[in-house]
Amino acid sequence: MLLSKSTEYGIRATLYLTSLKQEGYVSIRDISDELDISFHFLTKIFQKLTQADLLQSFRGPRGGVALARPADQITLLDLVTAIDGPALFTECVLGLPGCGERKPCPLHEAWGPERDNLKALFENATLASMAADLETFDLRLKILHL
Amino acid sequence: MLLSKSTEYGIRATLYLTSLKQEGYVSIRDISDELDISFHFLTKIFQKLTQADLLQSFRGPRGGVALARPADQITLLDLVTAIDGPALFTECVLGLPGCGERKPCPLHEAWGPERDNLKALFENATLASMAADLETFDLRLKILHL
DNA sequence: TATATTTAAGACAATTAAGTCTTTAATTAA
DNA sequence: TTAATTAAAGACTTAATTGTCTTAAATATA
Ligand code: FES
Ligand code: FES
């Protein structure tokens, strides 16, 4: 699995939040209901994103969460690293400590560039661009019961 | 994390086994000692690889494990799928069921090709080519205590 | 045959990830 | 001021992964 469940949920939920284009705060309950994600679990994930200054939160009636900056200034890489940490983009694919040129593992030469591609993929995907695609191509963020 | 610990160990151990170029069987104990991997855990991983017909095993004195086919006919993709299953190369990166063109998620267009690259990377890496690199470039398979 | 060697198999424990529940704190509105 | 709403925090449970240990089965060799 490339991303943890937490990160999968975090991306889907933040993307949905973005797509609402709502002025004020959106309640976590609304988001968790809409995407069929456990409310309390999602709350914890959003707490991480709030602590990483990617989201703002507000308690009480009319409270909820909102993007902390414009949607074109938050990337999926921001979300992934805030939730799962940077390991995917820095660590040895074989789990050996100290990935680098000095004493590389047999996969380093092939994995290094691939890892950079992957990082670029997440870095180039802003919440704004993703939300635009979402509308344009009618993409899905939730499981479908067909 | 891209690969599970089991797969990381499985790749390192099989690569080491290949590099020995030994005629008969190599005991699992020798491999686990050399690479600092738990013997019993590695035994289980090798059992999966044996059941997938990538390795052959033999019990009793002078027993152990050996490649089931020539090293240029076993790829890292074979190892990964035998241990972790094919999910990494088939499933939606956001965890939504039924990754495909019919109702793609917002990352599908970018992730699809990237996933194919990743698959090609593992598919093009045979045990033979990796073992050759290992010699040529003095690469490492075990943690170093510098 | 008896003993030592080695993988197979499965029970078991420890750790981490995932998910649930309760209580607290902040805020609004009646 | 009181009650309702909502996120924060943390205890707790469950499930999956990782790791350890014991016993059984197969095999070679003395
Ligand atoms: S050392 Fe293994 S990927 Fe860099
Ligand atoms: S539907 Fe998400 S990657 Fe294909």
User: Domain spans of chain B?
Assistant: 5-136
Helix (H, G, I), strand (E, B) or coil at A97: coil
Q: Are A1 and B88 in contact (CB under 8 A)?
A: yes
- How far CA B136 is from CA of A88, A98, A116, B133, in Å, comes to 27, 21, 25, 5
Chain B partners within 8 Å of A130 (Cβ): 106-107
Handedness of CA B99, B101, B107, B110 (dihedral sign): positive
pLDDT score at B144 = 81
Nucleotide with C1' nearest the B40 CA? D20
pTM: 0.96
Ligand nearest to the CA of A141: 2
pLDDT tens string B13-52: 999 999 999 999 999 999 999 999 999 999 999 999 999 9
Ligand nearest to the CA of A144: 2
pLDDT of residue A146: 63
Report which residue is nearest nucleotide C8 when distances run from CA to C1': B47
- Between CA A3 and CA A121 the distance in angstroms is 14
Of A18, A66, A79, A49, nearest in space to B93 by CA:
A79
Tell me the three state secondary structure of residue B124. helix
Predicted confidence band of residue B146 (pLDDT cuts 50, 70, 90): low
In angstroms, the Cα distances linking B68 to B18, B53, B81 are: 11, 6, 16
Q: From B86, which residue of chain A is nearest by alpha-carbon distance?
A: A1
A11 alpha carbon – ligand 2 mean position (Å): 13
What's the pLDDT score for residue A142? 94
State how far residue A31 is from chain B, nearest Cα, in angstroms. 16
Which nucleotides of chain C are near protein (any atom < 7 Å from a CB)? 4-10, 17-22, 25-29
Enumerate residues near strand C (beta carbon within 7 A): A 4-6, 9, 38, 40-41, 43-44, 58-63; B 25-29, 40, 43-44, 46-47, 50-51, 57-65
Interchain contact, B110 vs A94, CB within 8 Å: no
Cβ–Cβ contacts within 10 Å for residue B103, how many? 14
Q: In CATH, what class is A5-136?
A: mainly alpha
Are A109 and B8 inside 8 Å of each other by CB? no
Quick check: A107 and B125 CB within 8 A? yes
**Confidence band (pLDDT; 50, 70, 90) for A46?**
very high
Mean of the per-residue pLDDT values for chain A? 96
Distance CA A103, CA A106 (A): 10
Number of Cβ within 10 Å of residue B84's Cβ equals: 19
Bridge-based pairing of strands B64-67 and B55-58 is antiparallel
CB atoms within 10 A of CB B24: 9
* pLDDT tens readout for residues B73-87: 999 999 999 999 999
Provide the residue type at B69 as one letter: R
Q: Do B2 and A5 make contact, defined as CB atoms within 8 angstroms?
A: no
pLDDT at A71 over 80: yes
Rounded to whole angstroms, how far apart are CA atoms B137 and B140? Answer: 9
Q: How many percent of chain B have pLDDT more than 70? A: 99
